[in-house]
Amino acid sequence: MKEKRHSPLDRVLGQLDHLDETNLQNLINRLARERELFEGIFNTIREGILVVSKEGIVEYTNGEGMKIVGLKDSDIGVAVLWKWIPDLAPVINMDGAEPDFAEQASVTREIEMTYPEHRFVRVYMVPFEGFENLDPHFVVILSDITREVLSTEEKIESEKISSIFLLAAGVAHELGNPLNSLTIHLQLMQRQLDQIQDEAIREKLQRSLSICSGEVERQDGIITNFLEAIRPSPPDFQDTNLVEVLESVLQVQEQELHNSKVTIEMEIGDEPPIIAGDMNQMKQVFFNIIKNAREAMQEGGTLHIETRSDDDYFFVIIADTGEGIEKEDLASVFQPYYSTKSSGSGLGLMIVNRILRDHGGQVGIDSKPGMGTVISLRFPKKHRRIRLLPQE
């Protein structure tokens, strides 16, 4: 038969009948000091420590345990742990039946908790038979490993991006040589084309040659944009007129917008929106936004572009009448590789957001399914251009 253990407190209590009033008071004071000392020690521990009865009632917890579980002082002695945190029930095989302490082994698991905060927790639980006159209990130790898990996920994401960059660099190299070769041969064809006397034939071939040259340039741009998304270059700040950049991008996409039956409406403010910006990066911003708008208007529609200003900022508003974006997707549209389109790369709006931040600006998005999407770009005027801290 297993011998019952006796705590120091049990031995002291056994001598109470032999203590006078003074010694009894001294004992009480000493026990109070020791309790305060031990509670102070437990409350400095970074892990949550809980003592749970065989019925699952939390009979004690230190400060960190209350924080992790979300308990209040009034919950101690009342709250049932596996009901308070349902994620713990399958971990310790609690299905409503009383656990068998003779068979129950120690348990170590990592769980994801959603209440009171979203966090990842390592659970270590060990049953023990208490001292004399104390029913069997669990000791549960909870370690918050959220930072550790997120750090691991960030490392995996970083390694993923590095792998994609290496892949993209390889693809760029493999595609770059054929594209350069095509460009050279197209230039040779252009020289020969200029020597053709028949004007009708020359114009016909010129259109075909222009299409081929444009497609080669577009493919080269796709590779460049992909590499830019992963390895961005710092902006080359120059005086840049946003209206001129917009008109340049619309001219490039004119045929595609026409084929998609998209009508352009422009409303230009009184003050020319001239900012300190990188013209090529601004072209990339407008190209990505207008391309997304065109693809959202499969049945045709209207693309409304408006510029306005106040004392400190220029604003460019680009609104489409496309299919819109679901509410639950709006929070993720600026994340890398997130796309609601099956053929999308998920880099377009991420690039837009990065470029705006590098220019001290901001981008906002508002959308309703079936009604369209509005992209709002805010650029600081030159006299108050600021640089936001980079996102971690």
pLDDT tens column, 252-262: 888 888 888 99
Pairwise CA distance, residues 264 & 261, whole Å: 10
pLDDT tens-digit map of 15-60? 666 667 777 777 777 777 777 777 777 777 888 888 888 778 888 8
Pairwise CA distance, residues 270 & 254, whole Å: 25
pLDDT-wise least confident of 123-132, 235-244, 254-263, 285-294? 123-132
CATH topology for 238-384 is Heat Shock Protein 90 (3.30.565)
- Integer angstrom CA distances of residue 311 from 199, 237, 384, 387: 55, 21, 10, 18
Per domain, the residue ranges of the chain are 45-144, 152-230, 238-384
User: Is pTM, for the whole model, over 0.85?
Assistant: no
Pairwise CA distance, residues 214 & 182, whole Å: 11
Task: Classify burial at 125, counting beta carbons within 10 Å of its beta carbon; exposed 0-12, middle 13-18, buried 19 or more.
Answer: buried
Cβ atoms 130, 137 nearer than 8 A? yes
- DSSP code at position 75: G
For residue 196, pLDDT over 70 is answered with yes
Relative to beta strand 58-61, strand 137-144 is unpaired
- E strand residue ranges, the chain: 48-53, 58-61, 107-113, 119-128, 137-144, 238-241, 262-267, 274-277, 301-309, 313-320, 362-368, 372-380
Q: CATH 3.90.1570: does it fit domain 152-230?
A: no
Mean of the pLDDT values across residues 100-104? 49
- Class in CATH terms, 45-144: alpha beta
pLDDT tens-digit map of 287-341? 989 988 998 898 889 999 999 988 888 999 999 998 888 777 776 677 665 555 5
